[in-house]
């Protein structure tokens, strides 16, 4: 059957590329989070049911795919946390609890996301810089939310960055211990501890 105007079976070429990219990202999440699997291009392509030709259609290499997956998870964390804070209304403490709970819920819904973004990314030298950049971005967003939710007086950028890094860095360590099983805590306990830490740093 002839393909006209880049459309095949009602799906445009651009949509097919986007669908294959999504499949590769989903496969990367599954493979990278599996401690019994080696995270290779071949393993990811096999999981996605795609040839390496289609891999290079969207990504320059394995590190580019893994970095894109980390970016996707960071965006999801940020969007979920912000939406939860907004839905909690104007009460500052409620906003903080809702934001933290949304993050914890994301990890409960799919622990693989926390594992690859926070734990596994440390073991890939080429991704450590990107991990640091994402953590610092989330620290910056925490400072913005603190200012908006708590009505704090204007502080220096240095003070905001310091508090944000303490919070996000502490959360990363807390989540690492929680996900690898070395810390026994309920989701509610994680939410309460993280919320207290946030309010203590910014209050």
Residue extents of the structural domains in the chain = 9-59, 62-202
**pLDDT confidence bin for 89, thresholds 50/70/90:** confident
Mean per-residue pLDDT for 122-130? 86
Q: What is the pLDDT of residue 3?
A: 42
Q: How many CB atoms lie within 10 A of CB 97?
A: 21
Q: What was the pLDDT predicted at 159?
A: 80
pLDDT-based confidence at 139, cuts 50/70/90? Answer: confident
Q: Give pLDDT, residue 6.
A: 59
Mean pLDDT across the stretch 192-199? 92
**45 vs 129, more confident:** 45
Give the Cβ contact number of residue 4 at 10 Å: 7
> pLDDT > 90: what percent of the chain?
53
pLDDT band, very low/low/confident/very high, at 123 (cuts 50, 70, 90): confident
CATH class of 62-202: mainly alpha
Structure tokens belonging to residue 30: 């599954």
Q: Indicate the SS3 state at residue 48.
A: helix
User: Who has greater pLDDT, 116 or 145?
Assistant: 116
Provide the terminal-to-terminal Cα distance of the chain, rounded to the nearest Å.
66
Position 180 pLDDT exceeds 80: yes
Q: How confident is the model at residue 142 (pLDDT cuts 50, 70, 90)?
A: confident
For residue 138, pLDDT over 70 is answered with: yes
Averaged confidence pLDDT in the chain:
87
Express as a percent the part of the chain with pLDDT over 70: 90
Rounded to 10 degrees, the C-alpha dihedral 124/127/132/134 comes to -130
The span from the CA of 104 to the CA of 10, in Å, is 40
Q: Are strands 7-8 and 11-12 parallel, antiparallel or unpaired?
A: antiparallel
Q: What is the mean pLDDT of residues 171-182?
A: 90
- pLDDT at residue number 181: 87
What integer is the mean pLDDT of 49-61?
94
Residue 152 — pLDDT band, cuts 50, 70, 90? Answer: low
- The C-alpha atoms of residue 73 and residue 107 are separated, in whole angstroms, by 11
Read off the pLDDT of each residue in 49-73 and give the average, rounded to a whole number.
Answer: 94
């Amino acid at each position: 059957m002839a393909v006209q105007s880049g459309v095949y079976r009602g799906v445009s070429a651009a949509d097919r590329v986007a669908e294959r990219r999504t499949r590769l990202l989903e496969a990367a999440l599954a493979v990278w989070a599996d401690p019994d699997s080696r995270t290779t291009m071949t393993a990811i392509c096999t999981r996605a049911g795609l040839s390496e030709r289609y891999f290079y259609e969207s990504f320059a290499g394995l590190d580019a795919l893994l970095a894109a997956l980390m970016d996707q998870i960071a965006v999801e964390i940020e969007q979920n946390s912000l939406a939860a804070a907004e839905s909690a209304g104007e009460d500052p403490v409620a906003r903080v609890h809702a934001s933290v709970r949304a993050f914890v819920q994301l990890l409960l819904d799919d622990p693989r996301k926390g594992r690859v973004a926070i734990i596994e990314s440390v073991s890939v030298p080429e991704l450590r810089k990107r991990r640091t950049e994402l953590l610092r971005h989330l620290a910056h967003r925490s400072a913005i939310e603190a200012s908006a939710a708590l009505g704090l007086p204007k502080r220096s950028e240095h003070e905001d960055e310091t508090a944000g890094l303490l919070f996000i860095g502490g959360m990363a360590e807390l989540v690492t211990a929680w996900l690898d099983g070395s810390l026994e805590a309920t989701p509610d306990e994680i939410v309460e501890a993280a919320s207290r830490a946030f309010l203590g740093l910014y209050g």
